[in-house]
Structure 1
Amino acid sequence: MFGVGLAFVCLCFSVVQSLPPDKVSAFHIIKTRSIDLNTAYGLSMENRLNKAVQPTNYRLELEPYLEDAVFKGHVKINLVWLLDADEITLHCAHEIEITETEVKILGHNSDRVDTIDIVKQTMDPKKPVLNIKLDRIIQRGTKGFIVFSYNGNMETATTEAFFKTVYITDQEVERIVAGTQLRPTNARRMFPCFDEPSYKTPFELSVVRPKNMIALSNTPVAKTEEITGEPNAVWDHFEKTPPMSTFTLGLVIADLKQLGNSTVVTDDAGGKMELRVWGRPEFLPALEGINEKFVRVFTEISNYWNSSLPIRRMDLVALPNYQGVKPADNWGLIVFKESDLASKGYLQLASELTYQWMGAFTTPAWWTDAHLNKALVGYLAAEIAFKINNGSEMEGKWPMTVLYSLYYEFSKRYPHSRITGMKQETTCTKIELLFRMFNLTLGGETFRNGLRDFLEISKYKTFHGDDIWYALDSSAKKDKKVAEDISVRSIARSWTDRDRLPLVTVTRNYDAKTAHVTQKVFLRERPHDVPDADRMLWFIPLVIARSDKLDFTKTSPVAWMKNQKEHDLKDLPNKEHFIIVNPEEIGPYPVNYDQDNWNLLATYLQSNKRNLIPELTRAKLLHDAWNLAYAGELSFATAFNMTLFLKDERNHIVWDPVFTMIDHIGRHICDCIHGKFQAYVRALLSPLYEELVKNEREDEENWRKNLRSHTKAFLCQAGYKPCIREAQEQYSKWMQAKNPDEGNPISNQYICPVFKYGTKKEWEFGLQRVINFPPSRKQSERTYLLKTLAGCPVEEYKIMRLLNITVLEGNGNFTETDIFLIFSMLTGAPQGYTTLFTFLKNNWDVLKEKFHSKTNLWDNLITSATSQFTTQSGLEMVSSLYVSHQGEFGSAEHIIEKSMRNIREEAKWSHENIPVIEQWLDKYLANVDIKEEQFIDN
């Protein structure tokens, strides 16, 4: 009857992709999410079903034929008519073959069942929508049901919808796995249904499985039934689920074993939950310790919500050969890739378990509300993971890691470059930080009570985004945490309705012990002529730390800026004491101060009291100062002064933004002071690196290893001789290899230092490896090698040699994609784009002819060769080229004109800032003691 009976799982599962547990790292900014926001953005535009009928229960039976990857299905959907209607519309994928349809209605006392004739049944040719025309109008309030029998094909190319996949055991035996991934709209590919989040209703699932496998779904098996004439398969009938959306339905059928024993957890609300972990038998040793993690995380989350889930069992499954990016967070059944579940962190597990309440128990009414769901899950998961392991999983850097990326993105003239996918992620991250801001400013208890009230009202139902804000507002008003003229919704909307962040400037009056506070849009990129910038205002919490009463535990605002451009603060300390506004990044905004307050901060940070300011705030002060200087809001002399305390700083969280800032400034300043800036970098990093090397331990923390690695990499770029020698020694092993094209025997970290500071022979060897790269090897290795060949050298002859071979000579080993890559890499440093400009200028006629029919390459060449200059002399060079060949740029005419406009702005910046930077560097380098003999002058 059944090849190998199998069934279905309703969300993203997880597979083993051979990554060992100790190599799986969790980065908060790349989190597992309950709803894919890129997909959700598209779904938000999808037409909804009409609301004539509503499902009240599903009875679903699945009979899979696993060997053939096909299945039979039978579904009965109980309905209630919400409107007078003679048509039923629901979702059904085009690949589903419906063999029988019946519509029946119940009498008033449910004692009679009438069959309704179907006049016509049609599929929308463009959408997965099934329309059923009835022979009469059914009155509003009528109850009935619709029954479908149908056939379908299991998905085998991907692990989506109802899928079948296989894996090979350690004993070389092939095993079949079946499951489902129904998020966000894949349920319609498995059975006809009302596949929208708001149609929450109970499910009764029955599935055929082989006797040598187990079946897991949202609820326990209520009964197992033998199949007449089929000795190797049985029916599993699962208990009825609570009301839930179609995409939270889940099922797995596979040869799995339970890890250890079940654990029953009783939460603070008195609810009991049985927790189990499953995996293939040979993988169970890699899951050791997961049960304990599961219990600990589940206990934290359930007690946070103080609301017991209406299910009595929860399973975590490590599923072999699942190919989805995200775990399948079905209600009561969460399916992971083997490597994900075996990883040592807590963040992903906390995220998936949080979703059981916020996403399954209550669900976004439509995909437009998915951002809030994802953001709240992400925030709570991060807080819980941080609480459990003191932030070690994220190296203590959260939320700075995500906040920095927001500062850079939202301060662009054109955030996201109109890339929708990036916009969805950054929008969600901003809302996540907004929840953190409310938790801190309202107080943890008020915030938690608001969320608990929200869940109590919304459980078993769907919600809209404002429902969360209203619940938090009610809790805040009850606890008197916000004034009556402020609403949490108004505060939230001021942040969510625009793709920008504010800059707050605090100017103190030391005699009056007051401060004048202003807000405006924070912009780093020039020119600062963003439309409507003057009309953008935020509700901003003003939390203050002051050195006369230093206390960073108080996170309640002393005042709110209520969509005001200006606000005055009173009762501040005298002129001997600094203030810090927005300590610990309570709100996602940078802060500028008057010069005297910056000086007080810089002096204090250089004292032995520095550590009284928490590391996140020390990092914030440093990050704000440099970014404000970059944006033209603060003198670079002040920003550099804020780095002086780093000679004694050893906390990796504080150092984290330093490397980004070195990179940003190093790319932006002219070649005229590049040597001095590199000398500053050497003086800044050498003591840190030498101490990290001296104290290196085998069992040291990851953050220490990463800090040493980053420090070494930047010192290498600055010409640190020990690093260069080590790189050349390792590189020589490759040069001496008998067959160097068979593979690269050295770590990638050694390649760039050799190409930058090594000999012509060493660089030429790398070039030949690209030219002779075997097609059998991973092309990503060739790409990396080509990127370093172009992007690392500082000598013009190396860059010119590469351009001559790839562009002028047209060496057949290099594709147009390679040329695009080379142009792009040359924009990263003044030596690169200056040499590319010279190459363009000297070979204009040849290049114009060569690219006359390749406008993409031509446009990219003009962009890369002309857009990166930042000085007046650079503007004169580009302008001269424009005048010399005016009318000859073709498709790139607008590109060079834009380049000149941008260079004019950058030249102004350089004119204002380069002398300040150079003067500060001269003074600093005259007083610093550094062993320059250890460095190559570049």
Structure 2
Amino acid sequence: MKGRGVPPGLLWIATLCALTTVEALGKASVPNISPRQDGSQEEKAKNNNQVLPTDGGPTSKPPNTTPSPSTSPSGPWDNYRLPKSLVPINYNLTLWPRLTPDENGQYIFTGLSIVEFECVEETDLILIHSNKLNYTLKNDHLAELTSVNSGVRAPSIKSSWLQSVTQYLVLQLDGKLIKGHRYHLYTDFTGELADDLGGFYRSEYFEDGVKKVVATTQMQPTDARKAFPCFDEPAMKAIFHITLIHDKGTVALSNGEEKESSVIEGQDLLKTAFKPTEKMSTYLLAFIVSDYTFINNTVDGVLIRIFARKPAIDAGQGEYALNKTGPILKFFEEYYNSSYPLPKSDQIALPDFNAGAMENWGLITYRETALLYDKDSSSNSNKERIATIIAHELAHMWFGNLVTLRWWNDLWLNEGFASYVEYLGAAHAEPNWNLTDLIVLSDVHRVFAVDALASSHPLSSKEEDIQKPAQISELFDAISYSKGAAVLRMLSDFLTEDVFTMGLRTYLAEFAFENAAVDLSVTKLPDTVEKIMNTWVLQMGFPVVTINTQTGLVSQEHFLLDPDSNVTTESPFNYEWIVPIKWMKTGIIKEPQWLKVKSSTIDAMKASGTEWVLANLNVVGYYRVNYDEGNWNKLLNCLMADHKLIPVINRAQLVDDAFNLARAKIIPTVWALNTTKYLNKETEYMPWKSALNNLDFFYLMFDRSEVYGPMQNYLRKQVTPLFQYYKNMTGNWRDVPDGHMDQYNQVNAISLACRTGLEECQNLTKTWFNQWMDTKMNPIHPNLRSTVYCNAIAAGDAKEWEFAWDEFQNATIASEAEKLRSALACTNQPWLLNRYLEYTLMPNLIRKQDATSTIVYIANNVVGQSLAWDFVRARWSYIFKEYGGGSFSFSNLINGVTKRFSTEFELQQLKQFKADNSEIGFGSGTLAVDQSIERTMSNIKWITENKQNVLDWFDN
């Protein structure tokens, strides 16, 4: 993601468009990426970790006797950003994690560090990041300083202390460090190998009844400082020499290749040293000690290894990842026109991991569900998730790791890019799945919901606005990942993929703005790419483009779900965008158009007679589209008469745009409902999924009201033909549909049919589940398990719940455990849901990584929603403290437990929750609280204005 001496990532777009949101830094510290010689040259629903309080820490070492933060004077150590006076060159780091507890029941690690740094500006102060580490005193100070040059004396340390708020080890010197000279800083420290999922932490699991401990890492964004003292900013790249001391019988891994491993004389310990890394950022470091095993393969001189628990490897669960990593690496080598920059690619599945995966250079860490595939238990969607996440992380090996953004304010480019090209990499590995279309449902439509709020934010932030760890964590949201992906996909489309990749390759090869020369004459653009892209990057939100097919007038407006909301964020472009419009007229694709101003007449878009206009073909543009009433009616008539005249993606778009335009009071709600009338003839996945996603809002708003019954009756009628279609296709549910999308849509058919009370469906799911309970042999296909489990548990009582709970506790396959964990929240018994909520705060029952998502699963259940909300309010202080104020999942938690809110009473509760916990804080969920308040106010108004019309429509 980021790097000192490295051009920021926007420069590859700058190669095309001279985007100016970050400065060029030259290319001094970027490794050479020329093609490997003789096969070897050394080297994203989507990452979470926790930023924890700085006080406390293990007490196994002598306490320091230096001033506490309260007694230290004010100074540069009160700033969150490092001064520019010192630049790290390399670290020599030895760590010894203890995989058994000490006499106090505490797991610890000890470490020795020598960091070599250069003084680039004279100073008598050393600031280096440190969080929750205790130091062994050296000459009454927390560190020791020497000069690399024997002819230059290092100043003595005058005073030293730990500045907890800004997370520094502070060293005041009795003289100046000399510009241009290098120094060594020695520290000896102890940290807790806690189960907090951040920094150097421990993950636990049971194998044959025996507890096993893994020492592992998650550094991004600001937790390397919990593992060792370091210059913990992405631009502060250095070379790392890592050595791990570990028990015999365990395996040590790090970013670099293993150099040597030897027995420590007289002890049952091994000392494993690794080859030096390439120059890299601290947040990409990884070191792991476990008793895992692996499978491996070598592709064009690159060693590929998949590590996991021994039973998982023995069961073949790593085979799919191993088979797909090689092709995806080869795809990206060609895509970037650059050889993979490391000699190895290790990937490891961890039982406890807060993120989906993390792109540590050469040692990628994953949740087990994101890497391990079991052919007997994993679903089609599990397999897709593995392919796309591997592609996402491997994309970072170049973009983010080799070339790194200077600071976190432009995280969106790093994560948005990986979230876009993950579809390309996975589609190369699975060419028959048509994966690239799914970005519309998974990213574009997903982020529209967030970016249509007045509390949204631009893709790119000002550097000075992102300082504290919690502010950095907040950036890991749907805007950075999904909007970033959508906007880059739009850029690639209007430039053409060839020009887009040419700019990317030039950037990676040259690292300097002045060397990046790309001919844009192949495209017809209305302005410079810089000006076009700035309208999408530097202001929040997106437009709704309205086309009047009678007059040809095309206009744009900032799209807000609540048009009455107060937008306080200023826009440098007054909320106007330069909009690329791909379109067709009555099935014929026309010449693309651009909307550069608020409104313009485009005569070509006039339509007469039975002609209709459809804009934003394949939803390559990041905007919604509205039409005059006549054109809407023609499109609806086309859907009813011959829906296949409209491309599949645009059928999904018409549904999604209509429902959201209705929520924004731009068109009547009944127009949106009319887009669902044709669905009894639709068999494609994307339109059905789009409809279900939007009807979920109607369930949230009306599943506690009199609208619910008529709505259920209508949707049951619409889905019955789809249910019968898949029943016939699969030979009465015996077979699996051939197509990737058909497998998904079969799930939609069963899920909605059962949800709406289709008796045949409910009997089917209960029969399958009861057969499993009776025979202990699971007859349910993995694709269907999530929905079958949920519906059977919802229809059942404690017996079904207890059976599923036992199966969850005994599950050895992570993807199967995940299906059960979700389904357990489907019960309609409040006492069971309350018990399940209590389990979420017991890590021996529900892993810490799964706590917040389990609470959200319960809140998704109409019976569980109020229970989950009461639980979160009552336990907020504990949840926040134990589960990490910096956990990226906190925004999902707050949004998840409040998304059904639609009454004045609930709004007041939410505002009170914000006020009551203002001192405790909300961490990465801070923005989500405001978004939830805004969303609730919008929901209240929407129900007031639409309830009767919606009831009448469903009744009729």
TM-score after normalising by structure 1: 0.68
Q: 1:826 to 1:139 in 2, by over 3 A?
A: closer
Q: 1:728 to 1:867 in 2, by over 3 A?
A: farther
**Does structure 2 conserve the Cα–Cα contact (< 8 Å) formed by 1:61 and 1:206?**
yes
Q: Distance in 2 between matches of 1:112 and 1:388?
A: 57
**Does structure 2 conserve the Cα–Cα contact (< 8 Å) formed by 1:494 and 1:537?**
yes
Q: 1:39 to 1:395 in 2, by over 3 A?
A: farther
1:356-367 alignment runs, 5 A limit = 356-367=397-408
1:578-727 alignment runs, 5 A limit = 578-608=612-642, 610-635=643-668, 638-665=671-698, 679-696=713-730, 697-700=734-737, 704=742, 707-715=745-753, 718=756, 720-722=758-760
SS at match of 2:366: strand
Choose the corresponding residue for 1:187, options 224, 238, 242: 224
Q: Distance in 2 between matches of 1:636 and 1:718?
A: 21
Deviations 1:262-310 (A, max 9, x none): 4032xxxxxx533233344443232224322111111112221122344
Q: Which moved more, 1:338-347 or 1:722-731?
A: 722-731
Choose the corresponding residue for 1:263, options 276, 283, 298: 298
1:846-925 alignment runs, 5 A limit = 907=944, 909=946, 913=949, 917=953, 922=956
Q: 1:152 to 1:704 in 2, by over 3 A?
A: same
Partner of 2:330: 299
Q: 1:373 to 1:681 in 2, by over 3 A?
A: same
Partner of 2:927: none
Q: Distance in 2 between matches of 1:233 and 1:716?
A: 57
Partner of 1:386: 427
* Amino acid across the alignment from 1:131: V
Q: 1:113 to 1:63 in 2, by over 3 A?
A: farther
Q: 1:543 to 1:638 in 2, by over 3 A?
A: same
Q: Distance in 1 between matches of 2:716 and 2:603?
A: 43
Q: Distance in 2 between matches of 1:868 and 1:231?
A: 62
SS at match of 2:725: helix
CA drift at 1:505:
0.5
CA drift at 1:350:
0.9
SS at match of 1:492: helix
**Does structure 1 conserve the Cα–Cα contact (< 8 Å) formed by 2:903 and 2:940?**
no
Q: Distance in 1 between matches of 2:938 and 2:327?
A: 58
CA drift at 1:116:
3.0
Deviations 1:757-809 (A, max 9, x none): xxxxxxxx999x99xx99x9999999754578999xxxxxxxxxxxxxxxxxx
Q: 1:125 to 1:666 in 2, by over 3 A?
A: closer
CA drift at 1:503:
0.9
CA drift at 1:651:
0.6
* Amino acid across the alignment from 1:620: Q
Deviations 1:674-724 (A, max 9, x none): 776555434422222222223334323675465445445545565545457
Q: Distance in 1 between matches of 2:502 and 2:134?
A: 46
Q: Distance in 1 between matches of 2:219 and 2:439?
A: 32
Choose the corresponding residue for 2:525, options 458, 482, 485: 482
**Does structure 2 conserve the Cα–Cα contact (< 8 Å) formed by 1:636 and 1:917?**
no
Q: Distance in 1 between matches of 2:767 and 2:292?
A: 50
Q: 1:899 to 1:573 in 2, by over 3 A?
A: closer
Q: 1:93 to 1:617 in 2, by over 3 A?
A: same
Unaligned 5+ runs, structure 1: 1-28, 266-271, 460-466, 552-556, 737-745, 755-764, 792-817, 830-859, 870-897, 923-938
Asked whether 1:273 is paired with 2:302, we answer yes
Q: Distance in 1 between matches of 2:197 and 2:662?
A: 49
**Does structure 1 conserve the Cα–Cα contact (< 8 Å) formed by 2:253 and 2:287?**
yes
Asked whether 1:331 is paired with 2:361, we answer yes
Deviations 1:215-240 (A, max 9, x none): 3222223344564x336444333222
Q: 1:357 to 1:481 in 2, by over 3 A?
A: farther
**Does structure 2 conserve the Cα–Cα contact (< 8 Å) formed by 1:148 and 1:192?**
no
Asked whether 1:97 is paired with 2:112, we answer no
| Aligned-pair identity (%) | 23
Q: Distance in 2 between matches of 1:447 and 1:406?
A: 23
* Amino acid across the alignment from 1:690: Q
Q: 1:643 to 1:46 in 2, by over 3 A?
A: farther
**Does structure 1 conserve the Cα–Cα contact (< 8 Å) formed by 2:145 and 2:154?**
yes
Asked whether 1:442 is paired with 2:442, we answer no
Asked whether 1:505 is paired with 2:546, we answer yes
CA drift at 1:448:
1.1
SS at match of 1:360: coil
Q: Distance in 2 between matches of 1:92 and 1:246?
A: 13
Q: Distance in 2 between matches of 1:662 and 1:730?
A: 27
Aligned-residue Cα RMSD (Å) equals: 4.8
Partner of 1:5: none
Q: How many residues align?
A: 737
**Does structure 1 conserve the Cα–Cα contact (< 8 Å) formed by 2:790 and 2:824?**
no
**Does structure 1 conserve the Cα–Cα contact (< 8 Å) formed by 2:496 and 2:523?**
no
Deviations 1:369-425 (A, max 9, x none): 223211111111123213432474979633223333333334456669xx9988852
With a CA cutoff of 8 Å and minimum separation of 6, indicate the structure with the bigger relative contact order.
2
* Amino acid across the alignment from 1:278: F
Q: 1:526 to 1:914 in 2, by over 3 A?
A: farther
Partner of 1:519: 556
CA drift at 1:203:
1.6
Unaligned 5+ runs, structure 2: 1-43, 54-77, 374-382, 458-469, 775-787, 810-819, 834-854, 867-897, 908-934
* Amino acid across the alignment from 1:397: L
**Does structure 2 conserve the Cα–Cα contact (< 8 Å) formed by 1:521 and 1:533?**
no
Larger Rg: 1
CA drift at 1:590:
1.5
Deviations 1:598-655 (A, max 9, x none): 33323433445x4353311111123223333443323456545544433322112111
Q: Distance in 1 between matches of 2:293 and 2:906?
A: 59
Choose the corresponding residue for 2:45, options 2, 7, 30: 30
Partner of 1:87: 125
Choose the corresponding residue for 1:454, options 507, 513, 518: 507
* Amino acid across the alignment from 1:105: S
**Does structure 1 conserve the Cα–Cα contact (< 8 Å) formed by 2:636 and 2:675?**
yes
Partner of 1:283: 312
Deviations 1:885-911 (A, max 9, x none): xxxxxxxxxxxxx99998787555568
**Does structure 2 conserve the Cα–Cα contact (< 8 Å) formed by 1:259 and 1:279?**
no
Asked whether 1:244 is paired with 2:302, we answer no
* Amino acid across the alignment from 2:507: F
Q: Distance in 1 between matches of 2:404 and 2:728?
A: 53
**Does structure 2 conserve the Cα–Cα contact (< 8 Å) formed by 1:309 and 1:361?**
no
1:346-425 alignment runs, 5 A limit = 346-390=387-431, 392=433, 397-412=438-453, 424-425=476-477
Q: 1:567 to 1:238 in 2, by over 3 A?
A: same
CA drift at 1:126:
3.6
Q: Distance in 2 between matches of 1:599 and 1:678?
A: 25
Q: Distance in 1 between matches of 2:558 and 2:680?
A: 33
Q: Distance in 1 between matches of 2:707 and 2:260?
A: 78
**Does structure 1 conserve the Cα–Cα contact (< 8 Å) formed by 2:544 and 2:624?**
yes
Partner of 1:216: 253
Q: 1:207 to 1:546 in 2, by over 3 A?
A: same
Deviations 1:3-42 (A, max 9, x none): xxxxxxxxxxxxxxxxxxxxxxxxxx814x3x659999xx
Partner of 2:886: none
Q: 1:691 to 1:532 in 2, by over 3 A?
A: same
**Does structure 2 conserve the Cα–Cα contact (< 8 Å) formed by 1:447 and 1:475?**
no
Q: Distance in 2 between matches of 1:247 and 1:126?
A: 20
SS at match of 1:401: helix
Partner of 1:138: 177
